[in-house]
Structure formats: structure tokens, C-alpha cells
Chain A
Amino acid sequence: MLLIRCPYCEEERPELEFRNAGEAHIARSANMAGESDDDFEKFFFIRSNPKGIIYERWRHMHGCARFFNAVRDTVSDRFLLTYKAGEPKPAKLPGASK
């Protein structure tokens, strides 16, 4: 089971308290009805699915219930960083294994 640090609670808690909410930093269009089929496909269906560093959303479902973002290595499942929703994608990552 993963240990995940919630940036709001500022505490490492077991994965059971969290729900993964998919890839992070996918912006929803302000004008969804005006999206072309291509753009909607990219927004809704296409995913990076990286083997390596992933930027993803988590929700502290059974804690503060808030969404936040995390950086994780999908090969080792090790978390490199978690940060609050709305903060920019971090440019520098601490000790990436790959």
C-alpha cells in the first residue's frame, strides 16, 4: 500500500484514505460545446500513461476530502512530490530515480 502525503493535512497517510483521480494538468475547455472532436478526444480520452514520471491527481477522500496533485515514478511507485491543486507543474523534481 502506498503512503501518500496530503499537502493540506501535511501528513503521510495510507493509500486507503485516498482516491486516485487520473492524470493532472489537463485543462478543461471554458467552451466545451465549441470543442472540435479532435480536441475533445485529446481532453477526454487520450492519456500520457508514462513509464516513469507521472503527474496525477489524488483526492484525500477519507481525510480532508480535497484534491491535490502528485508526482510519482510509475516504475517504482515512489512519490517524489505532492502539491496543492492550482499550483503550477513543478519544474524541478527531487531525486528522480529515472
Chain B
Amino acid sequence: MKKYSVFAIAREAMRGHKGWEEQWSSPEPKKEYDVIIVGAGGHGLATAYYLATVHGITNVAVLEKGWLGGGNTGRNTTIIRSNYLYDESAGIYDHALKLWDGLSQELNYNVMYSPRGVMMLAHNVHDIQVLKRHVHANRLNGIDNEWLTPEAAKEFCPPLNISRDARYPVMGATLQRRGGTARHDAVAWGYARGASARGVHIIQNCEVIGVKRAPNGAVTGVETTRGFIGARKVGVVAAGHSSVIMNMAGVRMPLESYPLQALVSEPVKPVFPCVVMSNTVHAYISQSDKGELVIGAGTDQYVSYSQTGGLHILQHTLDAICEMFPMFTRMKMLRSWGGIVDVTPDRSPILAKTPVPGLYVNCGWGTGGFKATPGSGHVFAHTIAKDDPHPINAPFTIERFRTGRLIDEAAAAAVAH
């Protein structure tokens, strides 16, 4: 792997940019690997990267049915924050946030992590109570979060309408200054490049259609559209399709997959300095470095794999955005899309061993997995390499739905469900 640097740019500028090499190679699949990762999104590629860098396991294949980073990694609103209520969540999301800081340097790839601050709005007394509880819980866990008056919120984000007769009055807000955004594609590409350089095989257009198990139940490999590929360890990181893959191994999951939509506006000059989220009216917004407003809507109410959703969901979100930020009422929207998100009953992810020996699963990130990408890959690689969870992901088992030891962010998460 040739290192990217200002000197590399200068060198290539001198010779007509003919010396740039491919960022990752596309080898033919081998007959067998030590580890197979199903799904080449951010989480899967990060897992492969940390298997190689932290655990020295490089005989790894990442199988992707479409193209790398083309699922939810390319469909989210790129918000990064760690202001979750419960200790377990704080542990895993802040682990990720710490890795975001410095990730560009580690990967030698600009992931454009921008800690521009994530603000969450309170519109009623209940919101104030819930969000203040979050501030206190976060601080006890060493996570920065602070309470802002409406005036302070307006100062931090000038487009915000804090008029007392607004349809959704702003009664205060929380601010996590370390929160922000990153460039979603660059995250997938950076991890892919780093993993590929260390010998990991990234195999695109290779759909897993079956999971093979030995008579004793252990995993022996996967059937794919490009033939059988053997491995004693298989990690499923397939987002909305996780339960489909797990069913192939005979494991029924506590998951339901819903469409989640987002949209972007035409690009404009920098007008929006931070990320603003509102649980109550369900809208979140930021401005990308390209200048587009990036707006996230809610999930549709029914199970679907269609990667599309109802227009009324977007309309509801845009209504709220226009009320809170009147300057956007005449902004033209450029495109909208849907991703399929796998939601657990307690809205916390599952990163764990499974009842099947050699089969591991990293799923259930629901509507908010992007922010966790580095942390999720890091602890999932540990889980696969050691056949034992990292202390940070130890609570995120499948068995918690039998024992009742839930991590119930359903009511505590920042977005309405």
C-alpha cells in the first residue's frame, strides 16, 4: 500500500496522476479462509481491518452481495455521537467515538470526521426531563454533554427558530461537542484499503446463499453465488439481512427489518454549523461538506426489504424541518432513498457469539449504526479472534432476550421509535 501524503499528491501531479494504485484488490475467492465476514459495509470491513491489525489474522475474506459500502453504509446520515443513557451503551458508543478521533491518521485515509457538535432539542417538559437525565447519566460515564438554554442553542445554531409561538417551541437543548459527522464512503473505503493491504480478500458480487454446518453443529463455511467457501469462523455483519443469513444457519433472531429514509437538498454555501436532532418531531439535519443538507426521517411502520418507503414519512420530517428552520422552506430537495435497518426489541445491537459454534453475529444496530462503526469492528474482531467477547460488547448478547437482561435504549435513544 502506497502511503497517501502531500508528497504523493505532488509526485502524481508531476506525472499526470498515472501512479495511483487501486485502493483494494479484487482477488478470486480461495477455497478456504480462517475467517469469513458476511457483508462489506463499514462494520464488516472494520472487523476485517482489526482482525488483521490487532489480532494478526489476515487469512480473511469479506463477502459482499453487491458492492462495497453500498448498503446502509452509503445510506445513512453520518451522525456520530455517544450520548446514550445506559452504561453498556455509553461503553460501546464512546469506545467508537474515541476511535473516530484519530481514525484518519490510523487509516492514512481522510474519513472527514468533523466534531462539530450534536444538539438535541427539547420541545416540552417531558423532553427537558429526559434530556437532562441523559446529560447527568452521560457525565457520570465520562461522556461530554451539556444543557443549553434556548438562547444558547440559538447562538450555537443560528438558523434555529426559538420563537415562543413556533409550532415546535424550543425549550432547551443538549449539546455533545465531540459529536459530529464523518464521510460515510471514506470510512468503508479506508477500512477496505487498510484490510486489503494486510492480505484480507474483499470479494464483491458474491452473495451468501447458505451456511454449511458439520454434523456436530459447527460452521464449516458458506455457500455463495460463486461456489462454496470454507471457514471455521463466520461473522455475520449483514445489517437488514442479518436475520436472513442467520436463518440459513438455523438461528431465529429477535430482529425486524424496516425501511429508514433520508434525503439531501441541493448543495448550498455553508449555512448550518452543527448537527441538530429532535426526538419528538423526529427530524435530524446537518450540512455535508459538499453543501447538501442531509436530513434523516423515521422508519416506516412495516417490515420491508424494498429499500424504499412511504412519501408521507419524508413529508412529516420536512414539515418539522421547515418549522424549526424557516430559512429552509424554499430549499429544493435533490434525492431521497431508503435503507433497511434491523431493529431489536430493546433497540440495542447484538454483537455476540451464537448458539452455533464458529458463528458470530454483529447486527441490530437499527437506525443508528454508522456512529459505532470503528468501535463495533474493533470489539467484534476481538470476539471472533478470541472466541470470547470483549468486555465492552459482553452485555450485547442474543441470550439477553431470554434472561431479560435487556439494554433498553428503546425509550432512552435519541430518536422516537
Residues in A with CB closer than 8 Å to B254 are 41, 45-47
Residues in A with CB closer than 8 Å to B306 are 74-77
B386 contacts A by Cβ under 8 Å: no
B159 contacts A by Cβ under 8 Å: no
Closest to B302 in A: A20
Shortest A56–chain B CB gap in Å is: 7
Shortest B307–chain A CB gap in Å is: 10
Shortest A15–chain B CB gap in Å is: 6
- Report the bound CA distance from A6 to B307 in whole Å: 25
Closest to A14 in B: B312
- Report the bound CA distance from A23 to B253 in whole Å: 14
Question: Does the CB pair B301–A19 fall under 8 Å?
Answer: yes
Number of chain A residues whose Cβ lies closer than 8 Å to a Cβ of chain B: 28
Residues in A with CB closer than 8 Å to B244 are 49, 51
B337 contacts A by Cβ under 8 Å: no
Contact of A49 among B257, B401, B404 (CB under 8 A): B257
Known: A75-B305, A77-B304. A46 touches B312 (CB 8 A): no
Contact of B255 among A49, A54, A72 (CB under 8 A): A49
B252 contacts A by Cβ under 8 Å: yes
Q: Give the residues from 301 to 332 in chain B that come closer than 8 angstroms, CB to CB, to chain A.
A: 301-306, 308, 310-312
Residues in B with CB closer than 8 Å to A93 are none
- Report the bound CA distance from A44 to B255 in whole Å: 11
Closest to B342 in A: A49
Residues in A with CB closer than 8 Å to B310 are 1-2, 15
B345 contacts A by Cβ under 8 Å: yes
- Report the bound CA distance from A41 to B252 in whole Å: 11
Q: Give the residues from 228 to 280 in chain B that come closer than 8 angstroms, CB to CB, to chain A.
A: 241, 243-244, 252-257
Residues in A with CB closer than 8 Å to B342 are 49
- Chain B: number of interface residues, binned into ranges: 20 to 34
Question: Does the CB pair B401–A16 fall under 8 Å?
Answer: no
B164 contacts A by Cβ under 8 Å: no
- Report the bound CA distance from A2 to B301 in whole Å: 11
Residues in A with CB closer than 8 Å to B252 are 42, 46-48
Question: Does the CB pair B302–A56 fall under 8 Å?
Answer: yes
Q: What sequence of 0s and 1s flags, for each residue 1-34 of chain A, a beta carbon within 8 Å of any chain B beta carbon? A: 1100000000000011001101100000000000
- Report the bound CA distance from A1 to B310 in whole Å: 5
Residues in B with CB closer than 8 Å to A40 are 402
Q: List 22 A-B contacts (CB under 8 A).
A: A15-B310, A22-B256, A37-B402, A38-B402, A41-B401, A41-B402, A45-B254, A46-B253, A46-B254, A47-B253, A47-B255, A47-B256, A49-B243, A51-B244, A56-B302, A56-B303, A72-B302, A74-B303, A74-B305, A74-B306, A77-B302, A77-B308
Closest 7 CB pairs of A and B: A45-B254, A45-B401, A20-B301, A41-B402, A49-B243, A20-B302, A1-B310
Known A-B contacts: A72-B302, A74-B304. Give 15 more (CB < 8 A): A2-B302, A15-B312, A22-B256, A37-B404, A41-B402, A44-B401, A45-B345, A46-B401, A47-B252, A49-B255, A49-B256, A50-B303, A74-B306, A75-B306, A77-B304
State the A residues within 8 Å of B (CB): 1-2, 15-16, 19-20, 22-23, 37-38, 40-42, 44-51, 54, 56, 72, 74-77
